[in-house]
Amino acid sequence: MSVAFSISEDSFYHEPSFSLSLEDNIHTFSQTNLMSNVSLYNDMEDGRGHADARVFAGTYEQDIARAASLISSAKHAIALTGAGVSVESGIPTFRGRDGLWNKYNPIELATPEAFARNPVLVWKWYAWRIGLVMSAVPSAAHSALYDMEKMGVIKWVITQNVDDLHERAGSRNVVHLHGIILRARCTKCDYSIWWNDVPKIPPIPKCESCGEPLRPDVIWFGEPLNEEALSKAWGIAQSSDLILVIGTSAVVYPAAAIPLVVKENGGKIVEINPDVTPLTPYADVYIKEGASYALRKILEALKK
Ligand code: NAD
Ligand code: ZN
């Protein structure tokens, strides 16, 4: 497999033609059977196409046991989380069943152009999401990841989530790739604030230093990721020998490339997602389950 990414070239938040090259790799993978224990059932019809992909073709219990064994024997295991890890806390995902963006068009709400065009609409949507995050509580999935950090088996959580549920569950080593929804920053100067309450929109919030509009401190489509967060995540991935990938559709880059960095360096991928993703064929263990249930089971196995 060849995965050629560099931070400077691909630090944009997008769903680009990469999925094409990923498909090519997947195809090559299944054709040449590069991995000894790969058992893929590809359905290439939907373009993304992996109706079922069991990389480790064991029973569910065996998958959990194998995931726990890989995690406990890893020297530097990390986790990459996506919106699916916060679903059980009541925060909807963007894609998939009940995804936020089945009801709202992301292109109208999460781009710099949308904000320039209609800042009140964008801020209203964010205020609603800020409220959801503030009233949410960490799930068993967040807690299990914290327990794994305490046990020393998971060193870092790299998250695409803009909520603070990993931190509220107790996790200390968290990298936010896509910013934090509870913070707003000035569109002109360095000023930023944390929300203690849900902002009331309209009017749109203004900078207390220069008077220009504030914007949510998150990465919008088409925007580059924060260099510092991305290079930290990249460095962590490069020194990792296992990545637990939970609740991400694995289509938003460069986040989706992080597990491939681990794999490229000879590391393992354990994926937890009720739906298969473009990453599934690369996974050493794929657990087709919700985050809380699967992580609790893995945690129990780790404690044995
Ligand atoms: P996504 O919406 O694209 O995908 C969510 C994934 O979660 C899907 O693959 C879905 O099958 C899976 N999923 C659904 N229920 C699950 C469960 N119970 N357990 C485990 N997995 C489950 O989200 P993404 O991949 O994170 O990428 C899109 C962007 O969405 C991110 O950059 C992030 O900023 C943003 N987002 C964040 C939040 C949040 O902070 N909580 C919520 C929505 C979207
Ligand atoms: Zn300002």
255 and 198 co-located in one domain: no
157 and 290 co-located in one domain: yes
Please state the rounded mean pLDDT for residues 102-114.
74
Give the CB-side neighbour count of residue 96, counting CA atoms within 13 A.
17
- pLDDT tens for 6-63 read 444 345 665 432 222 333 332 222 222 222 222 222 222 222 223 333 444 568 889 9
Neighbours of ion ligand 2 (CB under 5 A): 186, 188-189, 191, 207, 209-210, 212
Pick the residue with more confidence: 96 or 157?
Answer: 157
Q: Over 90: is that where the pLDDT of 172 sits? A: yes
Q: Which two tokens stand for residue 201?
A: 């929109």
Which range marks the domain in which residue 122 is found? Answer: 92-135+182-218
Q: Over 70: is that where the pLDDT of 171 sits? A: yes
pLDDT at 279: 97
Q: How far apart are CA 299 and CA 213, in angstroms?
A: 45
- pLDDT tens for 200-230 read 999 999 999 999 999 999 999 889 999 999 9
| Helices then strands, each counted (H, E), the chain | 10, 11
Q: How far apart are CA 129 and CA 238, in angstroms?
A: 33
Residue 205: closest CA among 229, 184, 220, 179: 184
Assess whether the C-beta atom of 81 lies below 6 angstroms from ligand 1.
no
Of 50, 142, 176, 178, catalytic: 178
Q: Decide if 178 is catalytic.
A: yes
166 and 248 co-located in one domain: yes
Supply the pTM of this predicted model.
Answer: 0.85
96 and 71 co-located in one domain: no
CB 263 within 8 A of CB 239: no
Q: Over 70: is that where the pLDDT of 109 sits? A: yes
29 and 52 co-located in one domain: yes
